[in-house]
Chains A and B, each alone.
Chain A
């Protein structure tokens, strides 16, 4: 995304914004946070109230890709990209499949990470380790994608005044400081500020785009004349692809490790319900709004190829900013919104990764008898080392944004059966769930690496999940756990059924 008009004003905005976030989180969100206790540090003492929980769910879910990559997708696909609204709504349906039960179970047993559920339910080192490694791998990919997006956004938006890598290092350092000091509480507060800026930025942008480039109706009429395929009922394969996306995102985004940790961090069921209720409407104001931006963009800048279309938001912002001083400063706000969206996703993923490293890798494998302060410290330090290793990789950014977006789901979604089946069926055995996760990950990963994104419209991650469920069930029936193990597993959750 290039906004040559911004230059030094952009540099000032970005520095001021980042310092504002740092100042507010340090001032408001570090008191009362124990950095020597896993639950206090990684889950804000399981005390997130409705407002903070809602904004951290919201801002984490929508990343920089939503603001920059999604209008480009709408530009290329036309109205078939409306799917991005229902599939984001379906994340709530994904939650309803397991969150109500997992929330009460997690409170009872004091879970900190998703791996704690695996440990309690399956009581097998192998299952917990494989699940942890799958999640850590997915989170690392996700983090890498965010770092790349961050670097591109900053260097593009400041017209290269801040070079790619310095921009990333600057923002990452800010995030690492507030995370180090305040853990989840600081992340949630930063997400609150970022969430507000994202909303104002995208909604304001669509209004200005509408005013400057013409209405949705005129863009549609223009498309009917120039590219009717983008307006017409799509072929059956595209419809299959929609449904595949529904499953991939609906289930995948709900079982993200950082999403699961927000189920744990809710201070009560009432809070969780209230936040999910609001989240069910947010896609209209986010993916719905950026969808409109992309469609309006087809009229403003017709005939862009795939790579050019990725610059769409920047091109539109440039024209809008050139028209008045108000527009110019409003585009600066949009610019902060893009940075905000990337930051709010990155900080949550980073915290979740750090918690997996400290609670699960260090605390369960390397040194199980370590005290909590030691575990937290280990997670923080290895987290920082990993981030800097990723920065080295992020220097060489991959092609376009939307394609890497589905990549992380392919792996992360493979932990879903352990929740969707494991919370309700005592027969799901260690062998079944282990082979299921592995076979699903191998199929999904294999398809991705061989360059086959979909098969008859179905995504690799969804096919992997299908295979995963079948293998989990079949091998659980063939190699069931011992009767006493099944009874012990059932005790973990059966008390909620009354």
Chain B
């Protein structure tokens, strides 16, 4: 792969004019026909949160959140979501680079495959993981008989399920950034004598660092909230596979206040992540 100068660099000026357009004053007349459904749409998202907040036992919250059920699930969630994020970084960034830079036939199919978990019901993903990596799975069987190592019903299974569902967020964020940053700086580095790996490490990665950061945070948030693939592939046992979302599911029928308290953690974390990332995420899409 030799880098090529293909797309003309118009980034600087393009971004500026976009900003200018964005700051243009809003037209004074707002059509009601647009505003009414817009407000309804907003309420549609806001009301469930209000419902959750209204049922939250705020005074008991510190006690609920320090109960062993929550602490166990929180610890497990943190470890597994961070490990999944690390796995996604190791595999996802090179994968995004491959999708953005390497020209191979059928790339749209590869891209569809990579982004499939974004739209696939997580439970289907979990089932597929089970058929591949479970004890009787295509790969899982031979691995277990050779090493005795089994992914399901362990934190490793949770990490795999989280990575499967969350990594596409990193891949599409980073691929978008790679497309918009173009290949011309990489070409310039090549003329200065830098080899392909040096270019990747010293030019490509630093140039898209903000997007990698945004992608990692999103990936982490998605992994933290993963339920369907985890419960299907990794099972549901306190201390080893019962993450926060699974704990919500289990406690909802028995101990509603705990379920609400855990839900509030997840809502707050997700909101903080989305607000912190603001425009970085959708701008790159």
Check if A and B associate.
no
**Chain B interfacial positions (CB closer than 8 Å to A):** none
**Chain A interfacial positions (CB closer than 8 Å to B):** none
